[in-house]
Amino acid sequence: MSQVETQKLPLWKKALFLAIPIVMFLVIMEVVLRFTVPFQNVRALCFHPIMERDYCPGVTGAIKFGAVLEVNSAGMIDKEYPIARTPGAIRVAVLGDSFTAGEEVNMGKRFHELWEARLPETIKRPVEFLNFGVRGYGTWEQLQMFHLKAARYKPDWVVVNLFWGNDIADNINQFNAGAPNPLENDYPVDTLWSRVLVTRKNFNKWLWNHSALYQWIRTKYNMLEVRIKIWLRPEFQEQQERIKEAAELASQQKPASGTHPANTTMASARQNASLPAAKDAAIATAAPRIKLETDQPTVYDDMFFWESAGWQVTRKLLLKLNEEVKAAGSRLAVVHFPQNDQVLNYPTLPTQELDAFLQKNGIAFFDTFPVYKSMTQAELDATTLVREYGDNHFSEHGHVVYADMTEPFLAKILTR
């Protein structure tokens, strides 16, 4: 084709001729990477305009530690459940955070699935347990989850798994951040623009889960971004200056007999660079433990004080959830459980105050602390992934232990 003919081509044809080689290159790269670079863990959390996050419908794959999970069409890490009730079956909506979601173990191994497998034989009726747990949720988001999603399934019971590790702090954080407030029925209207915004924010999750090329580019970009941030940190620059000064000082000193100058220089540099870290560690070790006598101006200790701002918000959320559950024709139950390191040699938590509050307001509850406190440290560790991965979430054994201790309570309330 002559230069004159090329100039006469329509703009769309020029763009097409330019796009074809680019698309072919990307396709070839995608194929090559699929055969040479294994896919990484799927990204299952999508943006939600009210609850901030929810599981992306239809995602299948390993989210953590190789456990293969399936997110159903309603955004639950669970099998499919129709909105219409199953005749004769008791339906239970399970609310909670990452412990309830159970990203760390395979399908069928989590405590709500164990409940569903065992309880029909115990109470002589079919029972469905729908898992509405989502990583990072506190009572704040759990109330929103019931209002926006779980209520549609018309459950007979709603079971909240309240985690002492961070639920109280999460609730007050959301309140202080001015997030959409379920206590004030602050549920923004769903509009076309909000749907476009959600789609745009979640598109990269879709790309990550379906394109090896995108994963490779994104991973390399993230590594470069982190490295640049490290380079720009003042501490990094100061450390480099200390290493340089130590190297210069070592080069001016005569090395010991039989010692290579380069080895002396590097040893001195490493020693000087490690001094601040060693000093910080010594201070942290020697620091006295804060006495938990009065509330401190931080959300992190709110769990220790029944009248703290965090517990005031949490109590209001539980009461509001109870109201909504009753209005929907359901009943509320709360199971509260500790983090592994909150059981032995830990300051007293207001578990008795919580139990009394729930009882006063007619909310069924089960306090797991007595069961966990009867365990040794080794037994507690075995209920989590701390030994294998340094992770405090339930191990497969931990889900069994949790199901074992709570099953009699559930059998009792479901037969009321």
Q: Which two tokens stand for residue 191?
A: 């509009």
Class of domain 45-188+303-414: alpha beta
Which of 279, 213, 201 has the alpha carbon at shortest distance from 26?
213
Cβ-contact 91, 153 below 8 angstroms: yes
Q: Are 177 and 145 in contact (CB under 8 A)?
A: no
Among candidate residues 247, 242, 278, the one with its CA nearest the CA of residue 263 = 247
Walk along the chain (416 residues) and give the pLDDT tens digit of each residue: 555 555 677 888 878 888 888 888 888 888 888 888 888 888 899 999 999 999 999 999 999 999 999 999 999 999 999 999 999 999 999 999 999 999 999 999 999 999 999 999 999 999 999 999 999 999 999 999 999 999 999 999 999 999 999 999 999 999 999 999 999 999 988 888 888 888 888 888 888 888 888 888 888 888 887 788 777 777 766 777 777 777 777 666 654 444 444 444 434 444 443 434 443 343 333 333 344 556 566 666 788 999 999 999 999 999 999 999 999 999 999 999 999 999 999 999 999 999 999 999 999 999 999 999 999 999 999 999 999 999 999 999 999 999 999 999 999 999 98
Using DSSP, state whether 370 is helix, strand or coil.
helix
Task: Break the chain into its structural domains and give their ranges.
Answer: 3-36, 45-188+303-414, 233-286
pTM of the model: 0.78
- Quote the tokens at residue 167: 């639920």
Helix (H) or strand (E) holding 365: strand 364-367
